[in-house]
Amino acid sequence: MSIFVHIHSETEKRPGPDLVINCPACHNRDASATTYDQRIQERIWGLIPVNDTSSTWVVCTECNAILRSRVTAAKLKGKTADELSDQMYFDAGLVPKVLAMIGIVLAIFPFVGLVMAAIALFMNRKSPTWARMISVVALILSLLTSGLFGVLLVFEHFGLSK
C-alpha cells in the first residue's frame, strides 16, 4: 500500500537592485550584476506548508556566476563593490563538496590524500563554507600522514626500522 503525497512547490522571484561588484568567480572588478530574492514554498496537496525558504542571489553579468547573498536584495542597494564582497559568496555546487569529503577520507593514505586534499581546497577556495574547512583539515591530516610515511621510508632505507 502506498500513500500518494503530492507536494506542490511554488517559486517566487522578485528582482532587486542592479549592483556593481568585485566578482569572486571571474575576478572582474566593478562588474555589473543583477539581483533577485527567491522564495520557495512547498505545500502538501497545496495546503499544508512543509517548507518555506527565502534566499537572495547576485548574478554577475560578465560571467553569469550566481552568487549567494547573506542579506536580502533590498539591503544590498547603495553599497560599494568592496562592501558587497563581504555580503556574498560563491557557492560552487556539489562537486567540490564531494571532493572535500573524499579528501578527508583519503587523508589517512599518504600522498594520495595529499593530492586529493589539495585539489579539494583549490576548488573550494572561493566559497567560505564548511567544504573549505573540511578541505583545510584534510590537507593538514594528509600532510601529517605523508610526513610520517616519508619518515618511515627514510628509516626503512637506512635499515633503522629493525
Please give the residue ranges that form the binding site for Zn ion (CB under 5 A).
23, 25-26, 60, 62-63, 65
Q: Which is nearer to Zn ion, 96 or 113 (CB)?
A: 96
Who's near 45: CB < 8 A, 6+ residues apart?
5, 6, 8
Work out how close the CB of 67 gets to Zn ion at its nearest, in angstroms, rounded to a whole number.
8
Work out how close the CB of 96 gets to Zn ion at its nearest, in angstroms, rounded to a whole number.
18
Q: Which is nearer to Zn ion, 60 or 134 (CB)?
A: 60
Alpha carbons 57 and 93: distance in angstroms, whole number: 14
Cβ distance 8 to 42 under 8 Å?
yes
**Residue 123: closest CA among 106, 98, 153, 87:** 98
Who's near 12: CB < 8 A, 6+ residues apart?
38, 39, 40, 41
Who's near 157: CB < 8 A, 6+ residues apart?
none
Q: Which is nearer to Zn ion, 67 or 138 (CB)?
A: 67
Work out how close the CB of 21 gets to Zn ion at its nearest, in angstroms, rounded to a whole number.
8
Q: Which is nearer to Zn ion, 25 or 143 (CB)?
A: 25
Work out how close the CB of 62 gets to Zn ion at its nearest, in angstroms, rounded to a whole number.
4
